[in-house]
Amino acid sequence: MELILLGLIVVLLVFVIIKQFKNSSKTEEKDIHISNDITQLKSIGELSVFQVFSKEIVTKKDSAFNGIWKSILGWSLSERQIALIFEFEITFLYDLRDKNFEIVVLDNDHYKIIMPECKYKHSIIDMKFYDEKNAKFLPFLLPDSINSTGLSFSENDKNKLIREAKEEVKELSLNLIRNLESKIHKSARDTLEAIAKGFGAKKVEFEFKDNTQKLDIN
């Protein structure tokens, strides 16, 4: 009787050990599967997380652009009561193929995503003059519109003005970027967390390394 009981206990122990081993194997397979899925985030490449459209008006005497304008044409925007209106956009993106993009396993189904620095692309959509004296818009850098004021300038002058206009927009962009950092991070976090959880992750942490004091704008 004792031998039969001992035999049953041994069989039961073997069954329990086998079951635990199978459960452990399934858990490991699940963790490896989730980890492999999450690494696919890198295949996204450049992830656009935020976009801003803005309109700025340049009329101030102390504007850098206003000073360049006077050096080229001999008169400033404020002297002629003309405002220069910029319409531009800034795109905020993260390159997930960057070497600084990392996915760290913290625990079962718990990951930490270390983001590379955010990249910024800005472009001028439109530029036009507003003649405050006559209350009308003038197309930007079209000889006919400028000649109505009795002035004209060369193709080289036009190119200088366009370059300065881009620099002016760049400075405006820098101010917007510094003010929008928290919103940019939230957008990136919400997007990537949703994708990671779709792969099976239960918890995802983020670390951002953006340096708004040293920005690289294209």
pLDDT of residue 143: 47
Blockwise average pLDDT, block size 10, the chain, 218 residues: 42 40 46 64 88 72 51 50 74 92 89 92 77 60 48 62 72 79 92 89 90 62
3-state secondary structure at position 78: coil
- 125 residue type, one letter: I
Q: Which residues contact 115 (CB under 8 A, 6 or more apart)?
A: 94, 100, 101, 188, 206, 207, 208, 209, 210
- The span from the CA of 118 to the CA of 136, in Å, is 40
Residue 36 one-letter amino acid: N
Task: Give ∠ CA 96-99-102 in degrees, rounded to 5.
Answer: 65
Q: What pLDDT was estimated at residue 25?
A: 45
Q: What's the pLDDT score for residue 26? A: 45
Predicted pLDDT at 114: 95
Q: What's the pLDDT at 153?
A: 54
Question: What pLDDT score was predicted for residue 17?
Answer: 36
Q: What are phi and psi of 80, to 5 degrees?
A: -95, 5
The pLDDT, as a whole number, for residue 176 is 78
Which residue, 113, 116, 110, is CA-closest to 97?
Answer: 116
